Amino acid sequence: MIIRLLGPLELTGPNGAVQLSSAAQRTLVARLALTPGETVPRSALVDALWSDEASASATKTLHSLLARLRGQIRDAGLGELITTREPGYVLNASTETVDAARFEALVAAARHSDEPSESAKMLREALALWTGDPLADCRPGEWTRQESARLVSLRMDATEDLMDASLALGEHAAVAPLVAALVERHPFRERLWEQLMIALHRCGRQAESLAAFQRARAVLVDELGIEPGTRLRDLEQAVLTADPRLDLPERVVVPVRGNLPADRSSFVERPETEHVTDLIRRHRLVTLIGVGGVGKTRLALHVARAEQPPDGAWLVELAALRDRALVPHTVAEALGVVDQTGRGQLNVLAEFLAGRDALLVLDNCEHVVDHCAVLVDTLLRVAPKLRVIATSRRALRVHGEQVLSVAPLSVPYPAATLFAQRADAAIPGSFVITDANEQAVADLCRRLDGIPLAIEMAALRVRALTPAQLLERLDDRFRVLTDGGRTALPQHQTLLATMEWSFELCSPREQLLWARASVFAGGFDLAAAEAVCSDDVLTADFMFDAVDGLVDKSVLQHEEHAGVARYRFLETMRRFGQTRLRASGEEQRLKARHRDYYANLAAQGERAWFTPRQLATVGAMTAERGNLRAALEHSLTTPGEADAGLRLAATLWFHWVGCGRFAEGRHWLDWALSLETEPSKARCKALWVNGYVATLQGNTSAVPALLEACHREAAELRDEDADVFATYVRGAAAVFEDDLPRGAELLSEADRRHAELGHLDSNVIMAKVALAITVAFSGQLDRAAEICAEARAVCEENGELWARAYALYVLAFVAMGRGDVAEARELATTSLHIKAKFDDLLGIAVSVELLALIAAVTGHPAHAALLLGGADRVWRSVGLPLFGSATFAASHDRCVALCRQALGDEAYGEHFARGAAMTVSAVVEVAAKDLAQP
């Protein structure tokens, strides 16, 4: 359900939009929706409709309007959305479904945040909810005018808050034109004038900043007859005296202390809570076992939130993982550990966690239990302060493991408490346990064996049935389901019976979707559901209704990623769907459709990589990582499908290279190539892509065999495309091995042949960039600048950022060679900022190295040593520092020599060590700092 008030009023349900034909109906919806879940007195509704001109029959007319409105709402599939609650009516909806309420909640949260980036994110999300003038299609009147003015004022305040957050983030160059436009439309808002003056001052435009003050004063005096306020006058004086307090304050990098999600619903205390807390404080590994739906994950997260270890509590979700070999990769991703080297990910994790006091929550380990056991055993041995809470249906069987079987909730309490809380959440304010229903609730919870998930599913039915009616229907259903010699344990039987009962309460379309959507790993969006799950029975036109129905029944969980609604199952729900899908005989067909959809998505991403959608593609691939892995594994484990897996792994080159997934890319490419050994164009592409990734890792020993095989098979197939890309990779590898003449020859050949074949993508640009740095190393600065200027122009024309950043780096290197240090710094800093957006550690490392040299030659040796330490920190996650190349290392060695000469060995070592201890994000922030600023 969606209710929009911040623009044309809209009320949408499972069966489509409610046709609100009159301004009176729209006004009623708006008045109730502005305070969802709260009772609005009849007098307030009458006032909203008729202000002070209400007739004697106004209350009767109100009842008539509401009756028709509630009928239309029921027809739209929204049930009893509006109910009577004395002394008026209530709209039974959450704040999340009403754009105005969500807007106010986001703005309030942004004002309570101490982190400008988080505030800016929430404010942008809040302002994006606006689509027009609020309440414009409601009945004109005093209430409408007042409420509309209030919302518009809040919007303006939020806009000013966003400008403040942007200024705090150092985005003054972007803020200046935005605020300049705003003051033209709102000339009496002094806060906007203050923001404009600060932005102009920080851009180095002091004269314009002072001129802005004079304009503000003229407007206020001429139009309102008042002088500017104290803050604005003080700001003028600060600009005149170049007060350093106006400069952007140096921000302290706040380390991330975990990734545990916020509780979406209340936690019902249970006896095990204290026991688990005591166990994890006295021991280092606690495994919670029990049937699905018994509450293992909720209990683990609740305990973990309370622990707050110095280095954070981290949730690792393993349910969507199907390839056991990727368990360490999944843990690394959850911890934010990025390592592009050829080292095993388990070794990387061991090194990262060795000295940290942290808590890991490994959720849903049962299907990868052996690999989880190896990982946990290894990490606990090398990281003495690390603790682990695992949830599983089987114990890990690791030395020192404390296993606790999580029991169902006791009946009547706390099981009845859980039922009451979830029932009340279904229709806020509608349910409490009374003398009349207490026994029925207790019997219902007892019939459900106290299993939390089963109780929560049953509680949703109070929208239509009383607890006594629920119990009667559930007993009937259980007699049908549990007769027939079932051999499962009683608690498994109970949960299965509850699932099947809930399944049969779904519409036929919802049942189909529940089964079919179980092929998704992690989450999915509506477009994916339409493409993978639709057919003549469940058509794409009705897919949203089916999705919305499953969300309403809490079968699917609603999430949001980059402004797009996504959906996911709780693992127990997904497994039930899988059993239904398997029984239908459609499992292999759906898995193939799933694989084909994500293969097409990868192909779209490959095409979008050389467009302005490049950064959005990074986010899309990250969101779909679980599904891409599932598609790859299905292809590589299903007889006759390995070719599809090979093509998908090769198509994803931009993900492996551009998004810093070297190790995982090698995993899939090696596996696919080992299965598909007959020459094909797909195999040729996979060979050069694998060689490309290995080259960037510094794993040069693996590269020759891969590229020779590619050249040989490409010649056999007359595949010129693969052959020229392999030539580029061979050229890059030669440069890294310091064979500059051979590298220049191969890269020139690749550049020429790319032009002849009409190729144009990021790798074509990278061939030019590699050629440019090669000729720059040989002293041909003008030629290098010419090549990179061309590459930069092509990237800018096509909206490409990733390869463009490398071109800027080479142009910065050329500028240093020419002695233009200011130009070099500007180019290198721009390159660094771009690479940080992609988490491209290789690009970050080379940019930081160059910025360190710039700091050294401009008289800042301490800062340069700090950056050298930071660069070393990044290189350890990339591969061989500076590719193991003496040519690339020449500038580095020069920088080290300058620093040691100026500081001495001891001081140099201290600054280097400080840099090496920083996080990658801190390295980027420090490297980008303008040393010319105080």
pLDDT above 50: residue 148: yes
Q: How confident is the model at residue 256 (pLDDT cuts 50, 70, 90)?
A: low
pLDDT given for residue 698 in this prediction: 74
Q: So what's the pLDDT on residue 243?
A: 83
Whole-number pLDDT of residue 602: 96
> What 3 state SS string does 272-316 have?
HHHHHHHHHHHCCEEEEECCCCCCHHHHHHHHHHHHCCCCCEEEE
Model pLDDT, residue 800: 94
SS3 per-residue string spanning 717-739: HCCHHHHHHHHHHHHHHHHHCCC
Cα angle 850, 660, 170 (rounded to 5 degrees) comes to 55
Task: Give the model's pLDDT for residue 701.
Answer: 78
pLDDT at 481 over 50: no
Token digits of residue 558: 């609603």
Which has the closest alpha carbon to 895: 857, 929, 839?
A: 857
Q: Indicate if the pLDDT at residue 253 is higher than 90.
A: no
Q: Which residue has the higher pLDDT, 476 or 440?
A: 440
Beta strand 2-4 with 524-525 is unpaired
Alpha carbon distance 763, 832 (integer Å): 19
Beta-strand relationship, 2-4 and 10-13:
antiparallel
Closest CA relative to residue 868, chosen from 889, 849, 842? 849
Residue 479 has pLDDT above 60, yes or no: no
Which is higher by pLDDT, 486 or 24? Answer: 24
Among 89-98, 396-405, 615-624, 660-669, whose mean pLDDT is lowest?
A: 89-98
Q: Which of 237-246, 252-261, 365-374, 485-494 has the highest mean pLDDT?
A: 365-374
Q: What percentage of the chain has pLDDT greater than the value 70?
A: 95
pLDDT band at residue 897 using 50, 70 and 90 as cut-offs: very high
Specify the pLDDT at position 471.
86
Query: Is the pLDDT assigned to residue 254 strictly greater than 60?
Result: no
Look at residue 476 in the predicted model and tell me its pLDDT: 67
Question: Of 45-54, 143-152, 816-825, 835-844, which range is least confident?
Answer: 45-54
Band of residue 16 on the pLDDT scale cut at 50, 70, 90:
low
Average the pLDDT over each of 297-311, 458-472, 649-663, 728-742 and give the range with the smallest value.
458-472
| Residue 172, token pair as written in the block | 């003054």
| Whether the predicted pLDDT of 448 surpasses 60 | yes
Cα radius of gyration (the chain): 31
pLDDT in tens, 174-195: 788 889 888 988 999 999 999 9
pLDDT of 483 higher than 50: no
pLDDT band at 395 (very low <50, low <70, confident <90, very high): very high
Angstrom distance (rounded) from CA 719 to CA 692: 18
Model confidence over 601-658: pLDDT tens digits?
999 999 999 999 998 899 899 899 999 999 999 999 999 999 999 999 999 999 999 8
Who contacts 298 (Cβ-Cβ below 8 Å, separation ≥6)? 267, 452
How confident is the model over 812-861, as pLDDT tens digits?
999 999 999 999 999 999 999 999 988 888 899 999 999 999 999 999 99
Amino acid letter for position 703: V
Q: Is residue 230 exposed (0-12), middle (13-18) or buried (19+ Cβ within 10 Å)?
A: exposed
468: tokens are 């006594």
- Write the Ramachandran bin of 364: left for phi over 0, alpha for psi from -120 to 50, otherwise beta: left
Could you tell me the two tokens for 647? 């093509």
How far does the chain reach from its first CA to its final CA, in angstroms?
A: 53
Q: What's the pLDDT band for 883 if we cut at 50, 70, 90?
A: confident
**Is residue 284 over pLDDT 60?**
yes
CB 798 within 8 A of CB 759: no
Q: Quickly state the pLDDT bin for 899 (edges 50, 70, 90).
A: very high
Residue 381 CB neighbours (<10 A):
11
Q: Can you tell me whether residue 604 is helix, strand or coil?
A: helix
Q: Given this model, what pLDDT does residue 485 score?
A: 41
Name the token pair of 478: 């259980």
Other CB atoms closer than 10 Å to residue 897's CB: what's the count?
11
Q: For 428-452, what is the mean pLDDT? A: 88
**Three-state SS at 799:** coil
Given this model, what pLDDT does residue 821 score?
93
Q: Answer with the residue of higher pLDDT: 555 or 849.
A: 849
- Asked if pLDDT for residue 581 goes beyond 60, the answer is yes
Q: Would you say residue 492 has pLDDT above 90?
A: no
Strand partners, 287: 390, 403
**Highest-pLDDT range among 126-135, 163-172, 712-721:** 712-721
Which whole number is the average pLDDT over 36-59? 81
Q: Check pLDDT > 70 for residue 932.
A: no
pLDDT of residue 14: 65
For the stretch 905-914, pLDDT in tens is: 999 999 999 9
For residue 484, the model assigns a pLDDT of: 40
Evaluate whether 775 touches 751 at the Cβ level (below 8 Å).
Answer: no
Looking at per-residue confidence, does 343 or 301 come out higher? 301
Q: What is the pLDDT of residues 511-523, one digit of tens each?
A: 999 999 999 998 9
Question: What does 852-917 look like in DSSP terms, one character per residue?
Answer: HHHHHHTT-HHHHHHHHHHHHHHHTTTSSGGGG-HHHHHHHHHHHHHHHHHH-HHHHHHHHHHHHT
Burial 392-404 (b: 16+ CB within 10 A, else e): beebbebeebbbb
Average pLDDT over residues 886-915: 93
pLDDT value at 889 more than 80 = yes
Q: Where are the alpha helices (DSSP H) in 676-779?
A: 681-697, 703-717, 720-736, 740-757, 762-777
Pairing between β-strand 564-569 and β-strand 387-392 as defined by DSSP bridges:
unpaired
pLDDT tens digits for 523-539?
A: 999 999 999 999 988 99
Among the residue ranges 235-239, 745-749, 763-767, the one predicted with the least confidence is 235-239
687-723 b/e (C-beta count within 10 Å ≥ 16 → b): bbbbbbbbbbbbbbebbeebbebbbebbeeeebebbb
